Chains A and B, each alone.
Chain A
Amino acid sequence: MSTEPAARPVLHQELTLSYDYAIGEVAGTFFDGLRDGKILASTCSASDLAYLPPRAYCERSFEPCDGWTEAGEEGVIEASTVVVRGFEGKRPTPVAIAFVRLDGVDSAIANYVDGVDCSDIDAAVASIAPGTRVRVAFAEEREGRITDFSFELLDA
């Protein structure tokens, strides 16, 4: 048989599957906190680490996370990007996204960064460079999802 590409029709199918993901106790506590306008990090007394997103078990001490602490309202950008193309997220592009380590927490959590003027990409990138401090902004209407909050630049 020849391997010459031939013009063959394709069989088009679209699959839509729906899911109800169990949130569980740990993430459930976090999302309850969001509704109350708090960002709750799980803590491990053995390692003295605070985790966001929260987790049940401390991978470093090999002990269960045994407490909760409220994360600071501000934090520092660990990693960031301005998404320009082909993005099907909750917000239209271009849009800024960052992983932020909130004060008092030892790991970073992702969200959109508000107040970034993306009309000038270079300026936008510079404004969210790693090391930049941001604050948490809660949505007026909260539904217990990650989109209940975002980050905003301190000088915005």
Chain B
Amino acid sequence: MTDPVGVISTFQTRFGSRHPDVTYVEQAQQAAVGALHAAGMRPDDIDAVVYCMAPTFFMGVSDADQWAVDHVFAAGKPFFRIHTGGSTGGSAVHAALGLLRSRMFRSVLVVGAERLNETADAQEILNLTFDAFYERDMPLSTNTSVALMASRYLQRHGLTERDLARAPVRQRRSALKNPYAHLKGEITVDDVLESPLIAHPLKLYDVCPRSSGSAAMILGDAETIDAFQPRPAFINGFSSVSDTYWLGDRLSDEADLDLGEMEIAAVTARECFGRAGITDPFGEIQVAELYDPYSLIGYLQLEQLGFCAGGEAPRLDAEGTWDLHGGGVAVNPSGGTLCTNPIAITGLVRAIEAANQVMGTAGELQATGVRNTIATAIGGMAQFTNVTLFGDDHRDTQEPTR
């Protein structure tokens, strides 16, 4: 018997390049207030606070979480910050799950804010994630690394740049219905192909924006659910896996998990689905909110998570399989990370969107007949991945399998 843990409420702000009307901590506060109001709770109803913040070098205040303590109503409460890079938001939801299942706490506020455009030195900061001794002097970046993966993927499966371009076309269209999305609009495959080249085969529209905004989620145990939420989203499965830092170790024949195919996503998903008792993801999961900062990364995950065979995800996109009402699985009906990427909370936004679908609060993005949804998050150049499965009723967690 595992204790039920459910999502009580969620909140996100409108994302954009900048929010000059508020400071960073005021932005975080908007999310905390929003989630509390949505739950009908007051700060006293929260037992503990988990703060999401990825590298602070972008926004420029070290330990930004400590600055935000008062603003997110955490003074006098148990409080800490989770930071696993781009996977931070997913890791924070997992941390909250642990705090609740331990029975140490009954309600946890997960909250965070991100602003990436107050420094002109973002590229320099991203380069700093590479090793000071061996790698920092080379033009390594996430863009160039994903470009290498994309070239390999296209060649292996006989696909073209045109196949990758369908992801931003579908998701920017979906984002038109998402009031919070950063990038949205009707674009064509040709628009993607004609957008500026970043690193072959990636064009500008294959790549996510740098977004500013904030988000929050309140989670509770059975008692808190009874008091505040008649229709929660239960967390019925989760998993998180960390790979080696060294890119070269993940690109050789000796690699346990190949970076080019993002095999880490398969391992992570198997464990999550094992816990949740999911055996047929395509048949049992209605909505997937995937962390897809590049067009390639969403497709790779669909394949690695077992929604389709290798190389099939772009082809199925052409048939409408991943559309909101396409009869298959609704993939990133929010527009996903391709349309909105506030790094520190992107994983949390994925979890919020997936939970909203179960709770029936996704508005114009709402899929029908939703029983199970998943959210993923990826950090550190596909080094950290996590998956969370939300369901409309509580199911006992199974022993995970690898």
- Do A and B touch (CB < 8 Å)? yes
Interface residues on B, range: 20 to 34
C-alpha gap A13/B60 in the complex (Å): 19
> Does residue B63 face the partner (Cβ distance < 8 Å to A)?
no
Which of A15, A19, A22, A26 is the most central at the interface, judged by chain B CB atoms within 10 Å of its CB?
A22
Of chain A, the residue at the smallest CB distance from B23 is: A24
Shortest beta-carbon distance, B27 to chain A, in Å? Answer: 9
From B43, B118, B124, A19 is in contact (CB under 8 Å) with B118
Number of A-B contacts (CB under 8 A): 68
Interface of A is mostly: loop
Binds A, one of B2-10, B70-78, B173-181, B187-195: B70-78
From A17, A23, A55, B124 is in contact (CB under 8 Å) with A17
> Does residue A27 face the partner (Cβ distance < 8 Å to B)?
yes
Chain B residues whose C-beta falls within 8 Å of the C-beta of A117 in the assembled complex: none
Of chain A, the residue at the smallest CB distance from B22 is: A24
> Does residue B325 face the partner (Cβ distance < 8 Å to A)?
no
Determine if A56 and B119 form an interchain contact, defined as CB atoms under 8 angstroms apart: no
Determine if A57 and B71 form an interchain contact, defined as CB atoms under 8 angstroms apart: yes
Chain A residues whose C-beta falls within 8 Å of the C-beta of B119 in the assembled complex: 17-20
C-alpha gap A21/B120 in the complex (Å): 11
Chain B residues whose C-beta falls within 8 Å of the C-beta of A7 in the assembled complex: none
Residues 98 to 129 of chain A near chain B (Cβ within 8 Å): none
> 19 pairs across A/B with beta carbons < 8 Å?
A17-B60, A17-B119, A17-B124, A18-B120, A19-B60, A20-B118, A21-B23, A21-B60, A22-B18, A23-B23, A24-B19, A24-B23, A25-B22, A26-B23, A56-B26, A57-B29, A57-B33, A57-B71, A62-B36
- Chain B residues in the interface with A (C-beta under 8 A): 18-24, 26, 29, 33, 36, 42-43, 57, 59-60, 70-71, 73, 75, 115, 118-121, 124-125, 128, 132-133, 136
- Chain A residues in the interface with B (C-beta under 8 A): 11, 13, 15, 17-27, 55-57, 59, 62
